[in-house]
Structure 1
Amino acid sequence: MLNAERRQVILEILKRDGRVLASELSLSLNVSEDTIRRDLREMGEAGLIQRVHGGALPLSPEISPFSTRQENISQAKIRIGKAAAALIKDGQIALLDGGTTALEVARHLPSNLKATIVTNSPPVAIALAQHPAIELIMLGGQLYKESLVTVGPATLEALNMIRADLYLLGICSLHRHIGISTPELQEAYIKRAMIACSSEVVALASAEKLGTASSYVVGPITELTHIVTEKNLNEEILAPYRSLGITIIEA
C-alpha cells in the first residue's frame, strides 16, 4: 500500500470510529508502529488530524475570525441559539461566552425575561444592551480579537466572584474521550473558570463540532449537563453523551 493510500485509509477509519490507535493501525494495515507514528505525525503537521498520545482524533473545524463566521452563520446555529435561549428562566444568573451561536442566544431571549446575563463577549453585550428586563454584566480583560471575547487575569478574577445558575458554553470541539477543547489557550482558561462557577453547563454544539478535538482541553465531557445540537443526527453520534446522563436537546 502506498503512503497516500494508507493515509486515506487512516482518515476513513478516523471518520468512522472517531479515533485511531497506532497499535491497532499497525496490525490492521500490516506495517510497523514506527511507520504509523510517522504517518500520524506528518498528517498532524499537514492539519489533517489532531494527534494525541498513542493515536489521533478528528480535527476541529478551522476557526475563522468572528466577523467571517457571523456572515456565514448556518440556520442550524440559529436554531440552536433559539433553543438554548429558552433554558434561561426568570431570576437566574446565566453566563454566556463568545461565538456566533452565543450571539444567537442573546438575540432570542424573550423581551419579558428578567434575568442577569454575565458575558465576556462585546457582541453579546451590544445585542443585550437594549433588552428591557435583562441585567447585563460585562466582564473586562484583554480583548482576544479573533473571537471578540475578553480573556486574561482580570476576566478570571471577576469570575471568581460569581455563582451562576447556568453557563451556555460556546463549543469549539467535543469528543467523548478528550472532552471539551478549544484551539486557544487563554479561552480555555476562561471556559474552565465559567464551568467551575456554574451549577449547570449547556454546550452549544453544531454537528461539525461533535467528535472533534482541539489543542487545549477545557474539561471532561462529564462537566456538561446539557448539549443543544442539530436535529436528525445519527444516534451513534449522540449515544456516548446520553450514556453519561447528559440531556440532549435537538433544535
Structure 2
Amino acid sequence: MLAAERRDHLLDLLAREGKIVAKDVAAELGISEDSVRRDLRDLASEGLCQRVYGGALPVSPAVANYRARQSVAPDGKRKVAAVAAGLVRPGGALILDGGTTALAVVHALPRDLPCTVITHSPTIAAALIDHASAEIYLLGGRIFKHSAVACGAAAVEAAQNVSADLCFLGVTGVHPDAGLTTGDAEEAAMKRALAARAADTYVLASSEKIGTASRFRVLPWEEISGLITDADPRDPVIEKLAGQGVEVLKAR
C-alpha cells in the first residue's frame, strides 16, 4: 500500500472508529508499527489527528483562536448554555470559565438574576456588566490570548481563595478514554484550580467536541458532576459515557 493510500485508510479509520490503535493497523496492513507511527506523526503535524500513547484520536475543532471559535457551532453552544443557565439559582455563586460557550451562558442568564459570578475571563466579566443584580469577581493573572483568560501562578493562587456552588467548565475535547482535555498545559491547570473550588462542576461541550481529544488532560470523569451537551444521546461516545456513570444533561 502506497503512503497516500495508508493516509486515506488512517483518516477513514479515525472517522469510522473514533480512534487508531497503531499495533492493530500494523497487523492489518502487514507493515511495521514504526511506519504507522510515522504516518500518524505526519497527520498530527497537519492538525488531522491527536497522537496519544499507542495510536491517535480525532483532533478537536475547538483549538482555533478565540475569534475563530465564535463562528463554530453557535446553535449548539446556545443550547448547552440554556441548560447551564437553568442550573443557576437566585443568590447562588458561580465560577464561570472563559470561552465562547461560557459567553453564551452569560447571554442565557436572566439579566435581573441576583447571583455572584467568579471568572478569570475579562470577556466574561465585561459581558456581565449589564446584569445589574450580578456581583462580578475577576481573577487576575497572565492573559492567555488564545482563549482570552488569565492563567499562570497568580491566577491559580487567586482561584484558591474563592468558593462557589457551581462551576461551568469549557474543554476542547471530550473522549471516554482520553477524558476531558484542552490544548494548553497552563490553561488545563487553571481549569483544575477553578473546578476544585466549586461544590458541583459541569462541563460545557457542544457536539463538535464529543469524541475528540487535545494534548492536556483537565480532569478525570469522576471529578465532575455532569456533562452538558447537545450531542445525540444515541452517539456511541455519549452512550459509552452514560454507561460509565457520567451524568449527561441533554441540551436539545
TM-score (norm 2): 0.92
1:123 to partner: Cα distance? 1.4
CA distance in 2, matches of 1:54, 1:145: 32
1:206 to partner: Cα distance? 1.0
Stretch moving more, 78-87 or 216-225: 216-225
Q: Identify the residue that residue 250 of structure 2 maps to in structure 1.
A: 250
Stretch moving more, 106-115 or 61-70: 61-70
Residue type matched to 1:47 in 2? G
C-alpha contact (below 8 Å) 2:48/2:59 kept by paired residues: yes
Report how many residues are paired: 251
Q: Identify the residue that residue 140 of structure 1 maps to in structure 2.
A: 140
| Structure 1 unaligned blocks of 5 or more | none
CA 64–34 in structure 1, closer or farther in 2 if over 3 Å, else same? closer
Q: Identify the residue that residue 208 of structure 1 maps to in structure 2.
A: 208
1:159 to partner: Cα distance? 0.9
Residue type matched to 1:158 in 2? A
CA distance in 1, matches of 2:228, 2:217: 20
| Structure 2 unaligned blocks of 5 or more | none
Cα distance per residue 1:157-211 (max 9 Å; x no partner)? 1111122222101121111111111112221111011122222111111111111
The 5 Å alignment of 1:57-68 reads 57-68=57-68
> What is the aligned-residue RMSD (CA, Å)?
1.7
Q: Identify the residue that residue 84 of structure 1 maps to in structure 2.
A: 84
Q: Identify the residue that residue 194 of structure 1 maps to in structure 2.
A: 194
Cα distance per residue 1:215-246 (max 9 Å; x no partner)? 11112222222211115353312112212322
Q: Identify the residue that residue 174 of structure 1 maps to in structure 2.
A: 174
Q: Identify the residue that residue 229 of structure 1 maps to in structure 2.
A: 229
1:108 to partner: Cα distance? 1.2
Query: Identity of paired residues, percent?
Result: 39
1:113 to partner: Cα distance? 2.2
Q: Identify the residue that residue 8 of structure 1 maps to in structure 2.
A: 8
CA 102–56 in structure 1, closer or farther in 2 if over 3 Å, else same? same
CA distance in 1, matches of 2:56, 2:127: 39
CA distance in 2, matches of 1:67, 1:31: 42
TM-score (norm 1): 0.93
C-alpha contact (below 8 Å) 1:175/1:221 kept by paired residues: no
CA distance in 1, matches of 2:117, 2:166: 10
Residue type matched to 1:41 in 2? R
C-alpha contact (below 8 Å) 2:207/2:231 kept by paired residues: no
Classify the secondary structure of the residue corresponding to 2:61. coil
CA distance in 2, matches of 1:220, 1:182: 13
Residue type matched to 2:60 in 1? S
Residue type matched to 1:14 in 2? L
Residue type matched to 2:131 in 1? H
Q: Identify the residue that residue 154 of structure 2 maps to in structure 1.
A: 154
1:72 to partner: Cα distance? 5.6
C-alpha contact (below 8 Å) 1:203/1:224 kept by paired residues: yes
Stretch moving more, 113-122 or 215-224: 215-224
1:118 to partner: Cα distance? 0.4
CA 239–29 in structure 1, closer or farther in 2 if over 3 Å, else same? same
CA distance in 2, matches of 1:70, 1:55: 31
Residue type matched to 1:80 in 2? V
CA distance in 1, matches of 2:47, 2:71: 25
Cα distance per residue 1:24-56 (max 9 Å; x no partner)? 111122222222122222222222211111111
